Amino acid sequence: MPEGDTVFRTAERLRTALVGKTLTRSDFRVPRYATVDLVGEVVDEVASYGKHLFVRTDRVSIHTHLKMEGVWRVFHCGQRWTKPRVTARLVLATDEVEAVGFSLGKVQVLARAEEHTVIDHLGPDLLGPGWDATEALRRLREYPRRSIGLALLDQRNLAGIGNIYRSEICFLRRVHPATPVGDVTDLPALVDESHRVLGQAAHRPPWRPMVYGRTRRPCPRCGTAIASRLLGEDDPADHITQRERGIFFCPRCQPPP
């Protein structure tokens, strides 16, 4: 699944292509919005929040989420698309370019005043101008029994981290991903590391994983073989459920709790 850095860079590309331009065609290939026509509207802004992306005109906000396989591509008008046309779910065109969203996991058209309803439940955006480390810490500490690996993945705590970066952040802080939040020795430093890592990935790509996807390869720090396992949870008492997903770690640098 694309993480916050990918969505941030996608917003930058769409901003360059669309902001200040008049839409000459809009094609929503989603039944609920099939009749929406934005021809003649000017794109005011393109922004991201965590893994959510917004294309705004003066009247509406087009909200998209890439989910697992979604991607936005920008083409010059008449240029051949590089992905199958059948996978296109949204096309926004100007006189010069076509911005096409392929395999998007979510497409919504909202009144500008309603945009907040999509993100109100989320924690602070790690890549946003309003990043608030204190609020992120407060949210993480609400469930001290929860593993830090799962807490980092929960967008309600801090928005933008996915499966790759949670493993990388825990490795950098020498914390096993299964460690309960309440047992993390320096939680503020881990939150600061999250902000640094995602910011570096967004502004200076590509990020080269140190542990993610490197099972049985040597740890870049000590040479021990990287390990992996599944981590998930189902805690009805805390209203928390996450399906099992892979975590990667060094057994020596990050001893299990």
Residue 2 bears catalytic tag: yes
Selected catalytic residue, list 15, 106, 221, 245: 245
| pLDDT value, residue 243 | 63
130 contacts 198 by C-beta, under 8 angstroms = no
The SS3 call for residue 233 is strand
Residue 112 bears catalytic tag: no
Selected catalytic residue, list 3, 98, 115, 193: 3
Which fold is adopted by the domain 133-249? Helicase, Ruva Protein; domain 3 (1.10.8)
Termini Cα distance of the chain: 28
Q: Say how far apart CA 81 and CA 164 lie, in whole Å.
A: 29
| Per-residue pLDDT of the chain in tens (257 residues, 90 and over written 9) | 689 999 999 999 999 999 999 999 999 999 999 999 999 999 999 999 999 999 999 999 999 999 989 999 999 999 999 999 999 999 999 999 999 999 999 999 999 999 999 999 999 999 999 999 999 999 999 999 999 999 999 999 999 999 999 999 999 999 999 999 999 999 999 999 999 999 999 998 788 999 999 999 999 999 999 999 999 865 544 445 566 789 999 999 999 99
The alpha carbon dihedral of 25, 31, 36, 42 has a sign of: negative
| pLDDT value, residue 204 | 85
Largest CA distance in the chain: 60
Sort 29 into a burial class: Cβ within 10 Å, 0-12 / 13-18 / 19+.
middle
The H or E element spanning position 119 is helix 116-119
- Hey, what are 236's tokens? 């009805």
Sort 119 into a burial class: Cβ within 10 Å, 0-12 / 13-18 / 19+.
middle
Residue 21 bears catalytic tag: no
| CATH classification code of 4-119 | 3.20.190.10
Q: Say how far apart CA 79 and CA 119 lie, in whole Å.
A: 35
The H or E element spanning position 18 is helix 4-18
Domains of the chain, residue spans: 4-119, 133-249
Q: Say how far apart CA 165 and CA 43 lie, in whole Å.
A: 32
196 contacts 172 by C-beta, under 8 angstroms = no
Q: E-assigned strands of the chain?
A: 25-28, 43-49, 52-57, 60-65, 71-76, 88-93, 97-102, 106-111, 227-235, 240-249
pTM value surpassing 0.75: yes
